[in-house]
């Protein structure tokens, strides 16, 4: 089987994350928000997890979600033993995976039968405003485009990836959070402090030209500024699924229905001629 193309420069990503952890910046609030959301969702699951694992590059933030959980980094190969866990949380890093299906498959394999998976990541509607103004400014000033923001998956695609990875009862949902900043420059600084700076293999290795940056900041102001601040959209997607087990609800066999749909709806059935 052919390996998926490598989208992420893992060395640059590690450097960005190390810098973010050293800064201990309040900009990590989105990681903290995701951790609180995960705790709330786990509280709705009627089960006590005895062997949880968490996949995250930010262990200091996620270690308190489930005290005593086994925490591993989001490397291409996850350091998780097969069938060893009844819960795996993939915490806010899947959007940087060059092979997200591979990450999901490894997470499922680490689960015992009827184990629970809960993933969180940034979705495709994240930073739509910044993407737009950077693209417009770079085309206007440089006459071309280079990757500036990581491509993030849409929720409809992520639900299909859960099925491909072999999860039962897969569900994907999302919500958007709008954060306001003094300027686009302050937003970019926050992204750097989050460890979410550009780490794409195909990125332009030279610094962003001052003219492009200035033009992007101006375009952001003109298009989006309200009440003295500019908005930035962050879409947070949550994925859930179960390791297959015979006790789980199963779909009916095709043709096994005993009642016509027309009867259930109280309408006439018109055959197709």
All structural domains of the chain:
10-246 (3.40.50.150)
Binned at pLDDT 50, 70 and 90, residue 24 comes out as confident
Instruction: Name the pLDDT band for 259 (thresholds 50, 70, 90).
Output: low
Residue 185, Cβ density class (10 Å: 0-12 exposed, 13-18 middle, ≥19 buried): middle
Query: Rounded to an integer, what distance in angstroms lies between the CA atom of residue 213 and that of residue 176?
Result: 26
> Across 137-269, where does the E strand assignment appear?
168-181, 230-242
Residue 151 confidence (pLDDT) above 60? yes
Predicted local distance difference test score (pLDDT) of residue 44:
92
Indicate the pLDDT class of residue 46, thresholds 50, 70 and 90: confident
pLDDT at 207: 77
Rounded to two decimals, the pTM is: 0.86
3-state secondary structure of 18: helix
Q: What is the mean pLDDT of residues 16-20?
A: 92
Q: Worst-scoring range by mean pLDDT, 79-88, 137-146, 157-166?
A: 137-146
Tens digit of pLDDT for each residue in 220-247?
A: 999 999 999 999 999 999 999 999 977 7
The residue ranking higher by pLDDT, 261 or 92, is 92
Q: Which helix (H) or strand (E) holds 264?
A: helix 261-265
- A 10 A CB-CB count for 271 gives 4
Average pLDDT, the chain: 89
Whole-angstrom Cα distance, residue 180 to residue 68? 36
Kindly state the average pLDDT of the residues 252-267. 63
Neighbouring-strand partners of residue 72: 55
- Is the torsion defined by CA of 151, 154, 157, 163 positive or negative? positive
């Amino acid at each position: 089987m052919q390996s998926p193309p490598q989208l992420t420069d893992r060395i640059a990503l590690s450097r960005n994350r190390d810098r973010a952890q050293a800064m201990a910046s309040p900009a990590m609030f989105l990681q903290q928000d995701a951790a609180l959301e995960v705790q709330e969702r786990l509280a709705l699951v009627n089960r006590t997890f005895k062997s949880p694992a968490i996949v995250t590059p930010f262990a200091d933030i996620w270690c308190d979600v489930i005290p005593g959980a086994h925490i591993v980094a989001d490397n291409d190969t996850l350091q998780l033993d097969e069938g060893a866990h009844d819960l795996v949380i993939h915490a806010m890093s899947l959007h940087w995976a060059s092979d997200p299906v591979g990450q999901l498959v490894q997470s499922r394999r680490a689960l015992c039968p009827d184990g629970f998976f809960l993933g969180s990541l940034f979705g495709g509607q994240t930073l739509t405003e910044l993407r737009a103004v950077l693209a417009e400014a770079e085309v206007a000033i440089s006459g071309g485009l280079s990757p500036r923001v990581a491509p993030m998956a849409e929720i409809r695609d992520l639900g299909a990836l859960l099925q491909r990875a072999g999860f039962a009862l897969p569900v994907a949902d999302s919500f958007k959070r709008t954060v306001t900043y003094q300027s686009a420059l302050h937003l970019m600084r926050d992204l750097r402090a989050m460890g979410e700076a550009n780490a794409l293999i195909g990125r332009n290795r030279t610094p962003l030209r001052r003219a492009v940056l200035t033009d992007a900041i101006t375009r952001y102001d003109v298009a989006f500024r309200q009440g003295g601040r500019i908005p930035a959209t962050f879409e947070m997607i949550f994925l859930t699924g179960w390791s297959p087990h015979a006790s789980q609800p199963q779909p009916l066999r095709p043709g096994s229905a005993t009642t016509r749909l027309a009867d259930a709806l109280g309408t006439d059935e018109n055959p197709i001629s």
